[in-house]
Amino acid sequence: MTQSASFSGVRPGLHIAIIMDGNGRWAETRGWPRIAGHRAGAGTVRRIVEAARRAGIGTLTLYAFSSDNWRRPPGEVRALMRLFEQHLARETPRCVANGVRLSVIGRRDRLPDRLCVAIAAAEAATAGGRDMHLRVAVDYSAREALVRAADSCRSLEVVDAEAFEWRLNAVSHDEGRAPSVDLLIRSGGEKRLSDFLLWECAYAELYFTDRMWPDFRAADLARALGEFERRERRFGAVRAEAAGGWSGGPGPPAPAENGAPEAHEPRVAGGGAADPAPRRA
């Protein structure tokens, strides 16, 4: 597959999540400082965001910095925070021009003030984007978000999945409501979720690649999406032909949210914790 990747056959409106792993190791194998890998990875973000928009992806969520990543050397963390700020300033006009709405999810009370200002400015500038929703997870921990959301529900008499999801979004600065993740991609060769979108990935298809994030290209995204479309997603049900035409008889219907088919997921075939020392980036 060439760089001019084809996204034919990919259903529009999918939610794709990516754990962008391998920046530091990519740089180290070349004898370069780890921050060089992070800079190269920022270039990959630009390419993949553009490719995802061309592919008709509805929501793209990128794992940029986990809450566990604060354990990294202080110099690397400071450099990453500066890189985030610079990337927001550089890419916000591109997002506006391409109709991409940008949101940053995760905690903000531990981020530098300058970065928080840059985040607020980018979110405000891109609020009108309708072609794709780009979400970037910074200082994010799914388990911590789940605990905080559960704590915020103590005053409610009744808590259902929808009410809980709204609380979960609120504690992560995620205004509105993102659909469940359809496909989670992880680069860099590791095969784990690393405390990323645990609620949203209840029924996500998982795709792992050995390619380091700086080397990840549109062709790799197309390959992952092609694999996704070939998979059979039943969400706990069985195929009618496998059940002799029996659709399940009496009983609860297939779940309609959070790990269940969205409006764009009715097809049967065709797709559709925190690590002690995460090695993401």
Give residue-wise pLDDT tens across range 18-32.
999 999 999 999 999
| Catalytic residue numbers, as ranges | 21, 69
Distance between CA atoms of 115 and 111, rounded to whole angstroms? Answer: 7
What SS3 state is found at 17? strand
Of 57, 109, 70, the closest CA to residue 229 belongs to 57
Q: Which tens digit of pLDDT belongs to each residue from 29-70?
A: 999 999 999 999 999 999 999 999 999 999 999 999 999 999
Dist. CA 81–CA 250, nearest whole Å: 54
- Domain extent listing, the chain: 15-230
CATH topology of domain 15-230: Undecaprenyl pyrophosphate synthetase (3.40.1180)
Q: With contact defined as beta carbons under 8 Å apart, do 111 and 36 qualify?
A: no
Which segments within the chain are labelled E, that is strand? Answer: 15-19, 59-66, 100-105, 132-140, 183-186, 205-208
Q: State which amino acid sits at residue 145.
A: A
In sequence order, what are the residues at sequence separation of 6 or more whose Cβ sits closer than 8 angstroms to the Cβ of residue 13?
Answer: 56, 57, 58, 179, 262, 264
Cβ neighbours of residue 168 closer than 8 Å, sequence gap 6 or more: 145, 146, 149, 174, 199
Q: What is the pLDDT of residues 176-228, one digit of tens each?
A: 678 899 999 999 999 999 999 999 999 999 999 999 999 999 999 999 999 99
Burial of 118 (0-12, 13-18, 19+ CB in 10 A): buried
How confident is residue 256, by pLDDT bands cut at 50, 70 and 90?
very low
**Residue of 48, 17, 95 lying closest to 222 (CA atoms):** 48
